[in-house]
Amino acid sequence: MSIGAGLQFIAQSLVELAIFRFMMGIGLGADYVLSPMMIAEHSNARDRGRLLAIGFGGFWVLGALVASFLALMLKGFLNSDLYWRVMLASGAIPPLIVIYLRRRFPETPRYLARIAGDVKEFLKVARQVLKADVGTDITLRTDGRGYGELLRSYIPYMLLGASLWYLFDIPAYGQGFFITYIANNIGYNNPALMNIISIGFTYLGALIFWLTQPRLGSKVLQAVGFGGMAASFFVFAYLMHASLIGVISGILLFSLAKFFGQVGPGSVVAVGAHGVELSPTKVRGIGQAINVLGGRLGVLTTTFVLPALLAADSPYAYVFLGAVSLIGAVLTMLFVPETANKGLEDASMEFIH
């Protein structure tokens, strides 16, 4: 990630830029799988959902906020060519911090116990994390099923999580990628500031999730979040169609979609909760990888398909985003099991044959 991001500064053509970003994407894709797994496997049952939300989703939003502030600060000091180079190359800094921290981070106890079979190292890490000695009788249980049998059993949950992430990323990245066009549609000429305002709403949504998830559960919040996004997009589309949309109403509805997104799917689906919570230890990495692929396909759909079908200044674009969000709400209510306040083994039914 760091090398690919840094090399963007010296890109001399679109092809070179694509190659450097592909390099960055390899590292980014790997960490999309690893980080939620590490957070989930080091968390207790009550706090796991909230730690995933803040540790992955919350800091994702923090990165977007820092990028927006950096864009505002640098815009008046750098020429256009240097401006985009510095902005993209600044992405090399956070991975360097991760390199330092990750080397000091212990391997997850579940991997040591159930995959590597390293009892000595497991007890050492468990003692380090829990600040107490643990027994090995139940904790070291392993799932006797093979990879093929596990994949056949759990592929429906993996595909469900991937589908929901796909559905969420279409409107979520649609807002992010086309914010300049959306700002122009409502007569506002400062998309970076508009993004900062919406990020404030996003963090408010994250706070609501943090405070209510252990009591209400992830499933309800995810459904409410998808539903709130749908309502925000539908109202935005109606006001645009009726030529009633303005700066205040436009920013408010744009920000409300961000708010509801983080109340629900942005704090559950887009942090990989379904991938890590609904897959047993032996295939958790595969389950999370399939979930991530679903999200990336959503980004590709937003990037290449949505603009080809609907212009950003068309109200039907926002009807489409609302319909996608509504489908996410329905799928959540019908098929997603509740995982809040359950240990990973209970949530994934790891030992239920």
Q: Where does residue 117 fall: left (phi above 0), alpha (psi -120 to 50 degrees), or beta otherwise?
A: left
Distances (CA, A) of 292 to 29, 169, 193, 289, 329: 8, 11, 30, 5, 19
Structure-block tokens of residue 286: 């595969």
> Which pLDDT value is given to residue 122?
85
For the full predicted model, state whether its pTM sits above 0.95. no
The mean pLDDT of the chain is: 90
Contacts of 249 (CB under 8 A, 6+ apart): 186, 239
Q: What is the 3-state secondary structure (H, E, C) of 188-257?
A: CCCHHHHHHHHHHHHHHHHHHHHHHHHHHCHHHHHHHHHHHHHHHHHHHHHHHHCCCCCHHHHHHHHHHH
Domain borders along the chain are 2-105+143-347, 106-142
Q: Considering only CA atoms, which of 305, 287, 298 is closest in space to residue 349?
A: 287
The domain defined by 2-105+143-347 carries CATH number 3.40.50.300 = no
Q: Does residue 321 contact residue 62 with C-beta atoms inside 8 Å?
A: no
pLDDT tens per residue across span 145-193: 888 999 999 999 999 999 999 999 999 998 887 888 888 888 888 887 8
Distance from C-alpha of 182 to C-alpha of 198, rounded to nearest angstrom: 13
Distances (CA, A) of 132 to 107, 119, 215: 17, 16, 28
Local confidence band at 136 (pLDDT 50, 70, 90 cut-offs)? low
pLDDT tens per residue across span 32-75: 999 999 999 989 999 999 999 988 878 887 888 888 888 888 88
Distance from C-alpha of 166 to C-alpha of 159, rounded to nearest angstrom: 10
Distance from C-alpha of 260 to C-alpha of 256, rounded to nearest angstrom: 6
